Each structure stands twice: as structure tokens, then as C-alpha cells.
Chains A and B, each alone.
Chain A
Amino acid sequence: MVGLNHRTAPLAVREGLAFDPQRAADTLRGISDRFPGTEAVIVSTCNRVELYIARPVGTHPSRERLWEVLVQGRQLTLADIQEHLYHHEDRAMVEHLFAVASSLDSMVVGETQILAQVKNAYQAACQAGTVGSTFHALFQRALAAAKDVHESTQLAAGRLSVASVAVDLVQRVFDEFADKTVLCIGAGEMVALLLRHMQELKPRQMVLANRSLARAQELAAQVGGMAAPLEHLETLLVDADIILSSTGATEPLVTAGMFKKLLKARKYRPAVIVDIAVPRDIDPEVGKLTNVYLYNIDDLQQVAAVNRDKRTDEIDRSRELLVRHVDEFVHWFAARDVGPLVKALYDQCNAIARAELEQVFARHPEYDEAQRKEWQRLTHRLVGKMLHAPVAQITQQAEATARPMLAAALKKLFSLGDAGPAKEDDGMTEEKAEGGSSSQKPEARSQNAEDTK
């Protein structure tokens, strides 16, 4: 694979290479037309552009050709992007893809969006017809590995931004929001960000109270809420279930005494108050009232920091989990080519042995059944002993990534023709990641060797 990400390339370069769905589909089909037998998937997100290729050993496209594909039709040239590109092959490519899908390579480790993005990229490539059995197995295994990481570790647990931590806390108190009212005191940037996060909960109503009614109305229009003057604060507090506050007030706007008087009017409904102002808008004593949950900026930042540390702890555990998945895929991939080839080799040699035996028996009709069987056993043993060493080498090869090369060499040396994985257009159903070997498999190989020019 070739690509660049947020670590290796600035935003301007990533923007210049981004693929929209149509461009991605056209590029994939172009690759397929230009390099028959090649599988391709493009993963393009705001933080990375990556082109994954699987092709038969010793064939195109080469790495340089892939670079050209990336810049084709762009304002950027190869010289602009070359220093930002990285390249992985074989096991390293598998490890990279699995890490990407599991969000270990993301800007925010543990974010779950990347999994959907990789899945969408895979599905788009399926629709474009550039996915064969290799990439079906690889991407399905990558998605399964990512799911395993998310389920078995705390990598994705806990929010990392103040606003999302606030949403998390609100969701620990309330489970339904269709009947809830969100009150926003102030109309600054931070509270607007909080409000936008709360908007995802789809509350019944969002009310913005601000000294400047015009500013409140402006923000209310953006989020589909209603504006109210700050003078109506006490009335607004009665109906509010979730209260967000961030004003420039130097004294608390809501005191414990004020809120306590409102508890009865509120029917003692629970209230979650998020006060990110400094100095605080809400008297800390309000948080000690029954059924009131008050959080300030320090509380939210502390939770976010703990979540961040917890995710960091989980990274090593996640990597260990991924190693197992990578090993399983690499061993499966290596083994799937070898089985049919070995069978074809034995079949070929046995066929030669049978043909020679028939000639011998034709010349010696006096041989009885027992003598014929003895000759057959002899040729069978000869074939077995002669092929044992090379077959043992290839099947027990400790370095699994060398097997495809040995398999290709075996195929060439013995002219095994169509033996091995079936071609892509054989109409076979796609194999799953854990699928065993089959007598017919596509010939696609993972990119395995540098092309020589």
C-alpha cells in the first residue's frame, strides 16, 4: 500500500489528495482496467489517503505507478507529495491496515469513526469490482480485529473532549431526551460547542439565555432553539433539565438559595448543570442539593485526562490483540496458495509416473497383478521421496512471507499452469477471512517484491 496521513503530511497536502466517492470509484476502476488481476481499495478520510493493492507476484502496478495514480488529475505533483508518502508491503501492510481500522493510527486513538470509514472504503471497492478473495479476506479480518479490540479493551471507552465528557455525564443521569429541556446561559464559543454536542441528544427544546438577546437569537437560529433574555433566568431554570453555563459574569448567576427555592417548582426533577465559566456562574453549593449534578471545567478536564490515560494504557493491550489477528491472517494467506500447488505438483508427477508405468506394462504383458502393484508402489515411493524435501521446505517455511515467492517459483519451475488460487472472474463466491483453502482461488497476491525496471 502507499499513502500519507496526519503524521506525515500537512492538511494542505491531504486535502489535495482526498478522494470523494466518485473519484475513488473512477480511480479504482481505472486501476482494474489498467492492471488486470489487481485488487484495490482506497481509504480516504480527513486524516489519511491510502491506496491498498493486491497483485500477482512480479507484476504491475509498482510502487511508482501507484504514486502516479494518486496524483493523476490533481494540482499536486509527485514532487509535492513524495516526501510525505509511506509504503508498506506484505505483513507490514496487514499490520498497518489492522492498526488503522482499530484506530491505533488515528489522531485520536480510540475514535470509532475510522472503523466505519474503512468499512465504507471496502464496500465502495466491492461495488467498483476491485475486491477479490484476498482483499475480501483481508478487510473482513481487519474489521473483525478492530471490533475485537474495541470489545476486549477500554480503548474506545471514555470521552476525550470536555464537551463530549459533558454529554457522557448527562447520559448517566437521563436515558430519554425527547422530553428534556436544555438551557444554555451565555452564547460564547465554548458553550456553543457544548450546545452542539447536546443537540445530538435531540432534546425537546433548547433555550439560550444571554445578556445580549441578539447574540442569543443568532446562536439559537444555528441550533434550532429559542432565545430568552437573561432576566428570565429563574423561570427558565424551573423547566430546564440540562443547564450549560459559560458567561463572563464575575459573580455567580445561580446561587444555592435561588436554586433551592426552585426545587419544589421543578418537582425535584434531576438537573445536570455544566458550568465551564471561570469564575464560575453557578454557586458550588448548588451541587450539594438533592438530585442536582453540577460539574465545572476542572471536573470535565479531569475526566477527559483520566480517559486519555486509560486509552494510552490500553494501546499496548490492543497492539497485542492485533498481533494475534495479523499472525492468523498471514498464516492463512500463506497456506492457501501452497496447498493446491503441492497437490498439483504431486498430481503432475504421479501422472508422469502412471504414463511411464503404462509403457512398461505394455512392453511386459507377462507381469501379473502382484508384479504390477509392486511397480506402482515403487513409482509412488519414488515420487513421494523426491518431492518430500522441496514440499517440506515450502510448507514448513518459518518465514510465512517467503511462502508466496516459493510458491510462485514452484509453479514456474514445474509449469503447473492454472494450479493454485482461482482467477477472479471464475465466479466463485468471496471467501471469508477464516476460510480454508480451496482448489480454485484468485491469483492475486499481496504486493511482494519490488519491480525492477
Chain B
Amino acid sequence: MLAEITTLPVLQWVLLGLSCGAFLAAFGWALPLMRGNAAPGQGAQGAEKVAGRWLLVRGSIGLGVAAAVALLAWRASNTRALPLYNYLDAFLVLALLLTGVLIYFRLTHYLRGLALFLLPMIAGVLLLGGVLAALNRAEFHDAAAWTLVHLIAVLLGTVCFAAGCVCGAVYLLVDRQLHRAGLDPTHRWSGLPPLARMERFMQGTTFLGFPLLTVAIVAGILRALQQPALIDGYWRSPKLILAAAAWLIYGLLLHVKLTPSFRGPRAAWLSIIGFALLMAVFLVVNRMVKGG
């Protein structure tokens, strides 16, 4: 059904690099703004400098989005299929969805401080997409309904868990700051939500992402059961094991009220580890098992 894309044209690599670089640059420019020291002691010129820096950040994000959309559109015009059946396209979609989450954060008063921390995540997703493309991952030759359900659930679940992972990282940052209050004034990183708010947000992303992950795993298993040739060794495949491990971690997070010892920093670490496991699943998939 779909042509196998084994290598990328140079210009697609350029677009990918441009998009990734733009998001990283945006983060670099945003960092002094987040730390509240973009223009110390520079008076009115300082205020203009801050405004200029924000313009750079927004422009950079815009450039990153434009490059990603252009690359996606180009590839979609070649494949004429949903951008889920190969890794690079799926990761481009993931990066764009995460940019949407970033905009949502900026528009939501109590989450505003988290927004710019998504930038390195988005750049990382694009980079991982590039790595997988460089490793010459073939597309999935599977148009079955369960596969489509699996892929969509994975994508949406990953967006939720990515947001939770970023929140977890910021939680740990603030937690560390608060334990060093005497040395590091807590107002320095402006706009970060209180810990309790971030904890609730992590639980919220888990609440949304866990059912999606469950659907993804179940849909994957059901599809595998439809392909008897693949079943042999499937239950021991690294992909399934890693996915199950991630599922258990998020299950634990979801039931933190029942396991309160996993509150606070531990919940933050779990959200980071869970997301790392999911990323590992992407790396492992098709490395050991063909076609799915």
C-alpha cells in the first residue's frame, strides 16, 4: 500500500534540522526570561530588550512549526496516507501536537510557567524522529483497523504523558529550589505553578493518558492475535514488556491516592520514567519484531 521510504532527501533533513534547531533556539532565548534576568539593571532599554527577546522566542517557535508542517506536508504528498505509518511522520505530528499543548499552557493562567519547558521536549521528539529515520525504519505495511486504533491511541497517549513528564521535571526543579530556600530565592523562576497544582496536573495527564495507553496495548495485542505468524515470541518481545512496564507505572500514578507514598517527588519521577519507557518502546519497536 505504501512505498517504503528508506532514505530522506537532503532537503527533508534540512527542514527537520531547522525545525529542531528552531525549538532549541527558542528555549535558549527563553531561558533568561524564565529566570527573570533577561536584562538586569538596564532600565527602559532592558524592557525593550525583554520584549525583543520574546519576539525572538515566538518567531523561533513559529519557524519550527512552519518547518515541521512543511516537512509533513511534503511527505504526506508522497505517501498519500495518514502520517502514522512511519516514525518520522508520527513524530512530526507528535511535535506539532505538543506545540499545541504549549500554546494551551501559555493561555492557561496557572500553567503559563510550564509552557516554555515543553520546548526541549519538542526538539527531542523531532530529534528522535530524525534518529529513527536515519536508522532506516520502514513504514508499517498494515492497514488493519486495530492497527489504526493502536497508532492513534499511542499518539494521543504520548502527548498526555509528555506533558506530564515536563510537569514532573519542573516539579522536581521547584522541589529542589524549595529545599534550598535559604540559598535560592523562590521567586527567581517566575510564573511556575505551586507544587500542589503541578501534582494535580500530573495526575490529570495520567488520568487522560492511561486509558489511551490501555487501548493502545489492547489494540496491539488484538492485532497481533489476528496474525498467527507473529504470535510466536510476541509475548516475550521487548516492545510488549516495555509497554507493559510503562502501563504499570502509570497505573501506579493513577492510583496515587491508594498508594500515597508515591506522592510528590516520587510521582514526578514516575512520570519521567514512564515517559522514558514509552520512548524506549518507540526505539525498540520493529528493531526486534518485523512489521509492527
Chain A residue nearest to B200 (CB atoms) is: A175
How does the 8 Å CB contact mask read for A301-321 relative to B, with 1 for contact and 0 for none?
011001100100110111111
Are A158 and B196 in contact (CB-based, < 8 A)?
Answer: no
**Nearest CB of B to A129, in Å:** 36
Q: A152-B46, A268-B260, A268-B261 are in contact. Are A175 and B196 (CB under 8 A)?
A: yes
In the complex, per-residue mask of B117-140: 1 if CB is within 8 Å of any chain A CB, else 0: 000000000000000000000000
Residues of B within 8 A of A173 (CB): 178, 194-196
Q: Is the CB of B185 within 8 A of A307?
A: yes
Judged by DSSP, the binding face of A is helix
B222 at the interface (CB under 8 A from A): no
- Say whether B211 faces chain A, with CB atoms less than 8 Å apart: no
Shortest Cβ distance from residue A222 to the other chain B in the assembled complex, whole angstroms:
28
- Alpha-carbon distance A313/B194, docked complex (angstroms): 27
- Is A234 close to B, CB under 8 A? no
Interface assignment of B255: CB less than 8 Å from any CB of chain A: no
Please determine whether A313 and B185 come into contact, CB atoms closer than 8 angstroms: no
Q: Which residues of A contact B41 (CB under 8 A)?
A: 313-314, 316-317
Question: How many chain-A residues does the 8 Å CB contact rule pick out?
Answer: 40
A169 an interface residue at 8 Å Cβ cutoff? yes
Q: Could you tell me the distance in whole angstroms from the C-beta of A156 to the nearest C-beta in chain B?
A: 11
Q: Which residues of B contact A267 (CB under 8 A)?
A: 260, 263
- Cβ of A117 within 8 Å of any chain B Cβ, yes or no, is no
CA distance A290 to B171 in the complex (A): 13
**Which residues of chain B have C-beta atoms less than 8 A from A303's C-beta?**
181-182, 185-186
Given the known interface contacts A176-B196, A293-B179, the answer about A168 and B187 at a Cβ–Cβ threshold of 8 Å is yes
Assuming the contacts A269-B263, A291-B265, A316-B43, asked whether A169 and B195 have C-beta atoms less than 8 A apart, the reply is no
What residue in chain A is nearest B47 (Cβ atoms)?
Answer: A152
A171 to B196, CA, bound (A): 10
- Whether B44 is near chain A, meaning CB under 8 Å from some CB there, is yes
A267 to B261, alpha carbons, bound, how many Å?
7
CA A14 to CA B182, docked complex, whole Å: 38
Given the interface pairs A173-B194, A290-B264, A313-B41, the reply to whether A302 lies near B183 with Cβ below 8 Å is yes
Q: Could you say which residues of chain A place their CB within 8 Å of the CB of B42? A: 317
A227 to B47, CA, bound (A): 50
Does A251 lie at the interface of the complex (its beta carbon under 8 Å from any beta carbon of B)?
Answer: no
B179 proximity list for chain A (CB < 8 A): 287, 293
Q: Answer yes or no: B193 CB below 8 A from chain A CBs.
A: yes
Contact B187 A290 (CB under 8 A): no
Complex: how many Å from CA A409 to CA B196? 67
In the complex, which of the residues B50, B187, B194, B266 contacts A157, with contact meaning CB atoms closer than 8 Å? B187
Q: How far is the CA of A267 from the CA of B46 in the complex (A)?
A: 47
Task: Assess whether A229 is interfacial by the CB under 8 Å rule.
Answer: no
Q: Are A174 and B194 in contact (CB under 8 A)?
A: yes
How big is the B interface, by class? Answer: 20 to 34
In the complex, what residues of B have CB within 8 A of residue A298's CB? 182
* Residue A59 lies at the interface, judged by CB distance under 8 Å to chain B: no
Q: Could you tell me if A290 and B194 are in contact, using CB atoms closer than 8 angstroms?
A: no
Given contacts A291-B265, A321-B47, contact A302 B182 (CB under 8 A): yes
Question: In the bound complex, do residue A293 and residue B196 qualify as a contact, i.e. CB atoms below 8 Å apart?
Answer: no
Contact between A291 and B263, CB atoms less than 8 A apart: yes
Segment 187-213 of B: residues with Cβ below 8 Å from A: 187, 190, 193-197
Q: Mark A139-181, 1 if CB is under 8 A from B, else 0.
A: 0000000001000101001100000000011011111100000
> Which single residue of chain A is at the shortest CB-CB distance from B192?
A172
Give Cα A168 to B46, complex, Å.
27
Query: How far apart are B165's CB and chain A's nearest CB, in angstroms?
Result: 20
Contact for A175 among B174, B193, B265, CB less than 8 A: B193
Contacts of B185 in A (CB 8 A): 158, 303, 306-307, 310
Q: Is the CB of A169 within 8 A of B47?
A: no
User: Interface 1/0s, chain A 285-303, versus B by CB < 8 A?
Assistant: 0010011010100110011
Judge whether B74 is part of the interface by a CB distance below 8 angstroms.
no
| Chain A neighbourhood of B263, CB < 8 A | 267-270, 291
A324 (CB) vs chain B CBs: closest residue = B44
Q: Which residues of A contact B194 (CB under 8 A)?
A: 171-175
CA–CA, A154 and B263, complex, Å: 34
Q: How far is the CA of A317 from the CA of B190 in the complex (A)?
A: 19
Confirm or deny: B36 has a beta carbon within 8 angstroms of a beta carbon on chain A: yes
Answer whether residue B235 sits at the interface, using C-beta atoms and an 8 A cutoff: no
The chain B residue sitting closest to A172, CB to CB, is B186
Q: Is the CB of A169 within 8 A of B44?
A: no
The verdict on B104 contacting chain A, using a C-beta distance below 8 Å, is no
Cβ contacts under 8 Å, B266 to chain A: 290
Interface readout for B158-184 with A: 1 if CB under 8 Å, 0 if not? 000000000000000010001101110
A309 to B157, alpha carbons, bound, how many Å? 46
Please provide the 6 A-B residue pairs with the shortest distance between their CB atoms, ordered closest to farther. A320-B43, A299-B182, A291-B264, A152-B47, A175-B194, A267-B260
- Given A172-B178, A173-B178, 20 more contacts at CB 8 Å? A148-B47, A157-B187, A157-B190, A158-B187, A175-B196, A175-B197, A269-B260, A287-B179, A290-B264, A291-B263, A293-B178, A295-B181, A295-B182, A299-B181, A302-B182, A303-B182, A303-B185, A313-B40, A316-B41, A319-B43
23 contacts between A and B (CB under 8 A): A148-B47, A158-B187, A169-B181, A169-B186, A171-B194, A172-B178, A173-B196, A175-B194, A176-B196, A267-B260, A287-B179, A290-B264, A290-B265, A290-B266, A291-B264, A291-B265, A293-B178, A303-B181, A303-B182, A303-B186, A307-B185, A313-B41, A316-B43
